[in-house]
Structure 1
Amino acid sequence: MDVEQRIRRLEDRIAISDLVVSYFVASDDDDSEGVAASFTADATFSSSGQLNAQGRDGIVEFIKSARSHMGMTVHTPNYVQCRFESPDRATGIVGAHLELVVGGVSVFGVVRYVDSYVRDGDVWRFQSRDMRVIHLAPWCEVGEAFASTTPVRWPGGEGAPSDYPRKS
């Protein structure tokens, strides 16, 4: 890669990191336009490998519906790892922690988003996002849940294994 291409790659990494933060802020702020601007028109959104929504409008409606059961939320990215497939396509892993009020219960969790990104004109957008849960539980259960074989404990649901169980 020549210097111009290397600089472009660095700029693209920063743009993708900014996309991740912009999506989290838009989601936390109930900014549907900001959420929509984060995705391509034909994007997909999944949770734990299960498709939740297709298309920009479908994703916005899915996020709105999910957030209708939530109070305050804080999504905080911890890292963004990108791998470029071409100048206009990349894949990534985003590690984040979540603080959410779900059904009146405060929860804390850690997730990894498995992403694909595309350059859409001059802007990077998500082509796909798959939120994978490492652990999540009501604040008062975090320590117990994290140390268990069922560290995913959404309020009102059954405990479930992590999408990333520890390998012995």
Structure 2
Amino acid sequence: MDLEDRVRALEDRGEIERLKYEYARRLDDDEFDSVVELFTEDATYALEGWGTHEGHAEIAAFIETTLADAFEYTAHVMHHPTIDVDGDTASAEWYLEIHYALADGTAGWRQGRYFDEYEKVDGEWLFSSMSHTILARQRSEYEVVEDERYGEIIEYGAPR
């Protein structure tokens, strides 16, 4: 692999990392209607416990209704990716931690792994497949409180 190929591989990896972080940011910022733009037209989106959704229409409907209605707050943390690039396709495994508050009055965190496939379309990396599995979780009651230092925050209660 010559220098140009090695630089391209590093650039591809950086673009794929940015794509994953953008996915998390859009979910956390309630930009649900724009998340589907990060996927290929024929992508598959399969979240453990939430079913499998295929293509832009199904993915958008699921995110904009089910996810948007279920969560009051999310903070996704993606880390330790293993990214393999092969030309205009790539695959990756990521560790996930998500802190969340649900509409049912509970909050908690989940830890798991994402398994992604990517395609470069018109020079831009997009998700062609995304799935995840949850390995651990904790849930408890919560309330929103006013903190002297941080302002309005979520305060966890006793585990459920």
| TM beyond 0.5 | yes
CA–CA separation in structure 2 for the residues paired with 1:79 and 1:37 = 24
Q: How does 1:75-86 map to 2 (within 5 A)?
A: 75-84=76-85, 86=86
C-alpha contact (below 8 Å) 1:106/1:139 kept by paired residues: yes
Cα distance in 2 for partners of 1:62, 1:134 equals 23
Aligned partner of 1:121 in structure 2 is 122
2:99 counterpart residue number = 99
Relative to total residues, which structure has the larger strand share, 1 or 2? 2
Contact 1:52/1:62 (<8 A) preserved: no
Q: Give identity over the alignment, percent.
A: 27
* Structure of higher CA gyration radius: 2
Tell me if the contact between 1:49 and 1:130 (Cα under 8 Å) persists in the aligned partners: no
Q: Shift of residue 114 of structure 1? A: 0.6
**In 1, Cα distance between the equivalents of 2:18 and 2:112?**
18
Structure 2 CA distance for partners of 1:101 and 1:50, relative to 1, 3 Å: closer
Q: Pairwise CA RMSD of aligned residues?
A: 1.7
User: Structure 1 counterpart of 2:69, which letter?
Assistant: S
Matched, 1:132 2:133: yes
In 2: Cα distance, 1:107 partner to 1:27 partner: 17
Cα pair distance change 1:135/1:127, threshold 3 Å = same
Q: Is the contact made by 1:71 and 1:104 (CA closer than 8 Å) also made in structure 2? A: no
- Paired amino acid for 2:60: V
What does residue 164 of structure 1 align with? none
Paired position in structure 1 for 2:20: 20
Are 1:34 and 2:22 an aligned pair?
no
Gaps of 5+ in 2: 142-160
Q: Residue 5 of structure 2 aligns to which amino acid in structure 1?
A: Q
Paired position in structure 1 for 2:144: none
Count of aligned pairs: 139
Q: Distance in 2 between matches of 1:33 and 1:61?
A: 9
Task: Name structure 1 gaps, 5 residues minimum.
Answer: 141-168
Q: 1:49 to 1:128 in 2, by over 3 A?
A: farther
Return the alpha-carbon distance in structure 2 between the equivalents of residues 123 and 51 of structure 1.
Answer: 27
Give the counterpart letter for 2:123 in structure 1: D
8 Å CA contact retained: 2:32, 2:68: no
Deviation string, structure 1 residues 8-48 (Cα, Å, up to 9, x no partner): 00000000000000000011112134312210010011123
Tell me the residue number matched to 2:54. Answer: 54
Q: Does the 8 Å contact 1:70/1:104 carry over to 2?
A: no
